[in-house]
Structure 1
Amino acid sequence: MKQTLDERFLISPFLVFFIVHATQVGVGMLGFQRPLMEDAGQDAWMAVLLAGLATHVLIWLMYRLLAYSPSGGDIVSLHKHYFGRWFGGVLSIGLLAYYALAAFTVLQSYIEIIKVWMFPLMGAWQFSLIFLMLTYYVISGGFRVVAGLCFWGVVIPLATIFPMMAFAFEYAQYRNLLPVLDHSPTQILKAVNDMAFQYLGFEVLLMYYPFLKNAPSSQKWAHASNVLTIFLYLVVILISIIFYNKEQIAHITWPTLTLAKIPEVPFIERMEYIVISIYVLVVFPNLVVAVWAMARVVKQLFSIRQRRSLPVLIACLFIGTLFFEEKSDIERFIQWTSKSGLFLIGVYIPLLYVYVWVVEKVKKSLQQKQ
């Protein structure tokens, strides 16, 4: 496959492992348990596995689709190649809107946690300004810097935050896991639909695919990353099931944060403050990658350099935080992001792959007849 980008802008295939995992694990890890356990109770862990397996299929499908992109390009170039400049541009603008919605949802969701748990008297715009200025700084360094941020966003939280949940085993009630298969297939499938939203983030691969050296070889790393994500969500949901019961979980907004309050350290009274502070390394890569994808779509569509479009995009996100900071607004944005993301990966990408596959088959058939 011919690379269209300069070698110095490319990253090694194994870094896909960190980018995919960093974009799949975010604010949702702190509160995904409640809707799952409301739908499937102690069988919620099955929804985690089923949604993760479906994600493997979609990752495979995305690589098959991107293989058709001219000169190893991204989905924007694929849109233009198969749908033309105008209609393909409309489809890419829809993708731009989705990335913008995802970035805004991540930003506002984490700011809400900071305000509720740590600084209730501070305004959302102050935190938003800090995060967006840092986002501009990171993205200005290029995609290699973004990939480096994702690396540390995976390594540091895995080594610091998640081991704390082992303290919950001291209070475990393993009988909470029984009976197995006590819920109907409809209830479990509803939980799978809720869980699928937590795995979103890997679809940014549609934009950074051209930045990978020997991009097809990175597929195994993407699947390996998804395995780690499945394992992490599975461990958290199992710990939550044996620690909480269904009645308790219904009244807790962020169950994972509540688990972080279990460890007791003599010189730290509120351990969750430490967890929230370190968790910025989990959330920040989500924001950075989404904003980078926005700037990349703008560059591909309108030939505007990222250093010019990036300040405008960040300013738009900042202005949005001034008007939409209520909890009801954030929940509405989360619902929109969930629906649009599931439509993108569950409906649009499969249909696009079928369309491209049929077009290529027809072209090949016509060439053979000539």
Structure 2
Amino acid sequence: MVKVNDQVPALMVFFLISAAQTGVGVLGFQSVINKYAGHDAWISVIVAGLGFNIIIWIMYRILQNNDGAEIVSIHKFTYGKWLGGILSFIFSMYLILTSVVVLRTYIEIIQVWMFPYVKVWALLLLLIPLIYYIISGEFRIIVGVCFFGVLYPFFLIFTLFYPLKYSNLTNILPILDHSFTEILQSSSLAIFSFMGVSTLLVFYPFIRESRKSQKFAHIGNIYTTFLYVFICLVSYIYYNQSELQNILWATLGLWKIIEMPFLARFEYVGIATLFFSILPNVALYLWASTRSLHNLFGISHKKTAVFLLVIVYIACIITGGREFISFINNMTGKIGGILLFGYIPILFLINLIRRKVKRNAS
């Protein structure tokens, strides 16, 4: 049971959800979702955002039906000790994998755009102690990092108005030129950018008056959806379709054309500022994994955090090459899609049946 002093106001769920969903994906998701729906892929982002609002609603039904328990306890009640433990362990491994993907992708961007000769292990030695400090302490530290991770990079939104004067609105016309199936296929590719909502299943008990927090979770998801739609629209009217097929990080390309008398490379500012979005993203995933494994095996939170960070350090070092990083990005997105849109609704139904059976038996 979480102490009242360790809980945070319901409003903070807005920042937790937004921070969890705003990560490295903002730099290059436009080219990924462009695969099926083309210039209509911005509509796919809206569809994905609406889909995640449904998933958030289902998550809250699960959590509230189980009196605010987190995912490990819910699994144990629904499936029993062993099967529930295995599923909780798989969920924790998924969170670790996602944190590795986000951290390694960001390091690759630093290597390509800023410091081509910097070593992965050297950057990690700078980042790992900071991440450990965040995830090994109280949950309030996580919330504070997420709060600044949403507010501080906010000014970058206004920088995207600059490329509009070089844009061509006809690049997104005619609207709805693709089939609903193609739009759904592109929506499935946008899942990776929104996957952070899965951490709600872990941090829910740390929310004071948690039942009132649902509206803030939905608002956070809507805010993130509008953010991605705006970035997508700006990119799609600036680049044509052939350019989008050959550009990897479209957002950095938008920043590259920004001219200032005192600053030659604005994309450096963008990459550095986005660190404050990447940090809460990675920290929240790792904290949720640490918390789940702590509850599952009873090992102290700090020891679990050290163990997981060693795994992350090794995984990031052995993961290299654009093709392999792209592969694990795609794989993680597919796993996240199965977990959120496949497993979560199934868990809701099985847990509901299990509760009714137990109620009738008692």
TM-score tier, shorter chain, comes to over 0.9
Aligned-residue sequence identity (percent) comes to 38
The residue identity in structure 1 corresponding to 2:68 is G
State the alpha-carbon separation in 2 of the partners of residues 242 and 171 from structure 1. 9
Q: Report deviation, 1:366.
A: 4.0
**Corresponding residue for residue 255 of structure 1:** 250
Is 1:88 the counterpart of 2:84? The answer is yes
Query: Structure 1 residue 156 and structure 2 residue 170: aligned?
Result: no
CA distance in 1: counterparts of 2:321 and 2:268, whole angstroms: 22
| Correspondences of 1:53-132 after superposition (within 5 Å) | 53-69=50-66, 71-132=67-128
Per the TM alignment, residue 63 of structure 1 is displaced from its structure 2 partner at its CA by: 0.3
Distance in 1 (alpha carbons) for counterparts of 2:75 and 2:177: 45
User: Does the 8 Å CA contact 2:31/2:244 hold for their aligned counterparts?
Assistant: yes
Does the 8 Å CA contact 1:107/1:128 hold for their aligned counterparts? Answer: no
1:332: Cα distance to partner?
Answer: 2.1
1:187 is matched with 182
Q: Give the counterpart letter for 1:74 in structure 2.
A: E
Question: CA separation in 1, counterparts of 2:35 and 2:58?
Answer: 31
TM-score, normalised by the number of residues in structure 2: 0.97
Taking structure 1 as the reference length, the TM-score comes to 0.95
* Distance in 1 (alpha carbons) for counterparts of 2:220 and 2:312: 29
2:313 maps to 1:318? yes
Name the counterpart of 1:327. 322
Q: Measured at CA, do residues 79 and 185 of structure 1 come closer, stay the same or move farther in structure 2, by a change above 3 Å?
A: same
Aligned to 2:336: 341
* Residue 8 (1) aligns with residue 25 (2): no
User: Is 1:271 paired with 2:271?
Assistant: no
Distance 2:186 2:16 in 1: 26
Return the offset for 1:143.
0.8
| Equivalence map 1:188-203=2 (5 Å) | 188-203=183-198
Shift of 1:351: 0.3
User: CA offset at residue 169 of structure 1?
Assistant: 1.4
2:6 partner amino acid: F
Q: Give the Cα–Cα distance (whole angstroms) in 2 for the partners of residues 360 and 317 of structure 1.
A: 37
More deviation in 167-176 or 323-332? 323-332
- Secondary structure at 2:65's aligned position in 1? coil
The separation in 2 between residues aligned to 1:330 and 1:63, in whole angstroms, is: 33
Deviations 1:102-153 (A, max 9, x none): 1110110100000000011111111122221110011233110000000000
Any unmatched runs of 5+ in structure 1?
Answer: none
CA distance in 1, matches of 2:103, 2:180: 35
Task: Please state how far the C-alpha of 1:309 moved relative to its aligned partner.
Answer: 1.3
Correspondence for 1:45: 42
User: Which amino acid is the alignment partner of residue 116 of structure 2?
Assistant: P
Amino acid at match of 1:17: F
Q: Which amino acid aligns with 1:22?
A: A
**Residue 198 of structure 1: how far off its partner (Å):** 1.5
Q: Does the Cα contact within 8 Å between 1:207 and 1:293 map onto a contact in 2?
A: yes
Deviation at 1:175, TM superposition (A): 1.4
- Kindly indicate whether residue 299 of structure 2 is the aligned counterpart of residue 304 of structure 1: yes
**Which deviations, in whole Å up to 9, do the C-alpha atoms of 1:65-111 show, x marking residues without a partner?**
11132x52201011112222111111111111101101110110100
Q: Distance in 1 between matches of 2:116 and 2:80?
A: 50
Structure 2 residue runs without a partner (length 5+): none
